[in-house]
Amino acid sequence: MGDGGDRSQELPQRVRGTTRGGPDQLTPSVSPVLSEELRQRLQAAIKAERDEAAAKEQQDATKATEQSQRPTVPGPADSQVKSLAVDGYHGLRKRAAKPEHPARPNHAAKSKRTARPGRPAEVGRNAESQPVAESMPVVKPLPVRDLPVNHKPTAQVQVRTPDQAQTDQAQTDQAQTDQGVHAMAETPKGPRRQRFGTVRLVAFAVVFINIGVLGVLVSRYIANSSSDNSTTNAALHRQEQAREQAASWVAQQVDQDDVVSCDRAMCAALEADGFPSRNLIVLSSNASSYPLNSAVVVDTATVRSLFGSSLASAYAPATLASFGSGMAEISVRVIAPHGAGAYQAALNSDLADREVSGSGLANNTNRLTLSGPAGNQLVAGQVDSRLMLAITVLAVHQPIDILGFGNIAPGGDAQMPLRYADLAENDQAANMSKSAYLKSITAFMAAHYHQTRTQIVTEGGQSVVRIEFTAPSPLGLFDGT
């Protein structure tokens, strides 16, 4: 091709008789004669192409070095790069064969049709019609098998014009850039990142499980604590209630001249109810012996922890009253300074004496009236010795009507003597009003028996005069002991 040549001239046809082959057989074997200027242009284009390929190779080597320093695993990107290194030459030839802008149609396109096999080639005519082929020599690339293993083949394309060479090179660079970006985008995550993600998920799962377990444990602990607190509060309430009842009973029923032993809390409650503190003995862990110098002991859980069951079985066998149950049980017991055996013997002897005295009192009907069960109780010896003596003396001064005998002693032993008597509020034989009759009896009892209490109470739906002695009942009063 010359500087002023006509590009619309027909392209030369392939020599008849030649067969189709590889890239080396696309042109006739006749070597065209190149001008000096065209040869220089070709050399310059080839040199530029090689320099650019070398620079590209250096850039790829640098990128490979940087990627090798990263902890990544081989992925699709490596296979794509290797494929590009091996198929670079053929890919470039394919891209060079398809320029970005298609050639303008001309008559030369017809001349590119290959001749049918077997027909003789028209050498002379084709040789005369090849002015374009002279300007488009074929540069034969090196075979791929001759390149080094790690060497990226230098793309050598069939250069037709400088403009087409530049267009092909631009397409090649763009394709390589797109492949590199695509390979980097598809690079899989490293195993370390994957392991970190797995460990993080496992850690989150463990945390959630622990939170759930902790929540269950906390809920159970709160429920158990609430249950324990409720149980403890209920037990404390029962103990407090039993302590108040026992303290009130002792303050009203026990002679305040007698000595009472109790734990610190019980003694405080007794003092609050009016029992004299001078007659209270506080039992504590320092107690080295049984409280034998007391008339009564208030047996609480604290006292049982100090003496166990030996106090009740050995030196406090008789129960005057009892309150509460279980650990909250509080019993008021009579102290037997000589032991349980001696106390039981004295109680049996006193019962026999009371039977005799009660039978004699029941037969004295001149000034004594016995209504209901009163006569049977006297004969059975159930009435306190002090009460029988007081009734005998009272009946001498004025006639009386006894409705019955009894004890205010919840939970007390049945062997304990009955300490009060209920009298009719107005005896017709006394010829007195109700108020005068009550005053007469109260004055008589106070003058002769300071351990008694006289009051009007309602019993069985009717008002009665109650004469009551304090606890505990003395034993052996009738035998002079």
Residue ranges per structural domain of the chain: 23-188, 236-334, 342-469
The b-or-e profile of 314-323 (16+ CB within 10 A means b, else e) is ebbbbbbbbb
Residue-wise pLDDT tens digits, 282-296 = 998 887 789 999 999
369 vs 97: which has the higher pLDDT: 369
pLDDT (mean) for 263-280: 96
| pLDDT for the residue numbered 409 | 92
- Is the pLDDT reported for residue 53 higher than 90? no
| pLDDT for the residue numbered 233 | 83
| pLDDT for the residue numbered 147 | 43
Phi, psi angles (nearest 5°) of residue 446: -65, -30
Alpha carbon distances (Å) from 411 to 265, 305, 408: 22, 22, 10
- Residue 428 burial (10 A CB sphere; 0-12, 13-18, 19+): exposed
pLDDT (mean) for 353-382: 89
The amino acid occupying position 212 is G
- Is the pLDDT reported for residue 259 higher than 90? yes
Supply the DSSP symbol for 339: -
Sign of CA dihedral 467, 469, 474, 475: positive
- Is the pLDDT reported for residue 153 higher than 90? no
pLDDT (mean) for 72-85: 45
Highest mean predicted confidence (pLDDT) among 105-109, 129-133, 457-461: 457-461
201 vs 450: which has the higher pLDDT: 450
- Tokens in use for 204? 């989150």
- Is the pLDDT reported for residue 41 higher than 60? yes
pLDDT (mean) for 302-327: 93
228 vs 422: which has the higher pLDDT: 422
Q: How many CB atoms lie within 10 A of CB 421?
A: 27
Residue-wise pLDDT tens digits, 371-417 = 878 999 999 999 999 999 999 998 888 888 899 999 999 999 999 99
| pLDDT for the residue numbered 227 | 62
For residues 10 and 111, is the Cβ–Cβ distance under 8 A? yes
| pLDDT for the residue numbered 34 | 59
- Diameter of the chain measured on Cα atoms: 184
pTM, two decimal places: 0.54
Dist CA 411 CA 13 (whole Å): 138
| pLDDT for the residue numbered 174 | 65
- Is the pLDDT reported for residue 168 higher than 80? no
Alpha carbon distances (Å) from 192 to 69, 71, 198, 452: 14, 8, 10, 98
Question: Which of 129-133, 148-152, 247-251 is least confident?
Answer: 129-133
Dist CA 400 CA 296 (whole Å): 33
Residue-wise pLDDT tens digits, 84-118 = 444 444 444 444 444 444 444 444 444 444 444 44
The b-or-e profile of 95-128 (16+ CB within 10 A means b, else e) is bbeeeeeeeeeeebeebeeebeeeeeeeeeebee
| pLDDT for the residue numbered 367 | 79
For residues 316 and 334, is the Cβ–Cβ distance under 8 A? yes
Phi, psi angles (nearest 5°) of residue 244: -65, -40
Question: Which of 196-205, 249-258, 340-349 is least confident?
Answer: 196-205
Give the residue carrying structure tokens 């400088």. 162
Question: What dihedral angle (degrees, nearest 10) is formed by the CA atoms of 228, 232, 234, 235?
Answer: 140
- Residue 425 burial (10 A CB sphere; 0-12, 13-18, 19+): middle
| pLDDT for the residue numbered 353 | 95
| pLDDT for the residue numbered 13 | 52
The mean pLDDT value of the chain amounts to 74
Q: For residue 142, how many C-alpha atoms fall within 13 Å in the half-sphere facing its CB?
A: 13
pLDDT (mean) for 147-151: 45
The b-or-e profile of 12-37 (16+ CB within 10 A means b, else e) is bbbbbebeeeeeeeebbeeebeeeee
Highest mean predicted confidence (pLDDT) among 167-181, 406-420, 455-469: 406-420
315 vs 115: which has the higher pLDDT: 315
For residues 140 and 46, is the Cβ–Cβ distance under 8 A? no
pLDDT (mean) for 19-48: 62
pLDDT (mean) for 353-376: 88
| pLDDT for the residue numbered 36 | 78
| pLDDT for the residue numbered 47 | 84
| pLDDT for the residue numbered 195 | 56
63: closest CA among 193, 175, 72, 88?
72
479 vs 16: which has the higher pLDDT: 479
- Is the pLDDT reported for residue 445 higher than 80? yes
148 vs 274: which has the higher pLDDT: 274
| pLDDT for the residue numbered 417 | 97
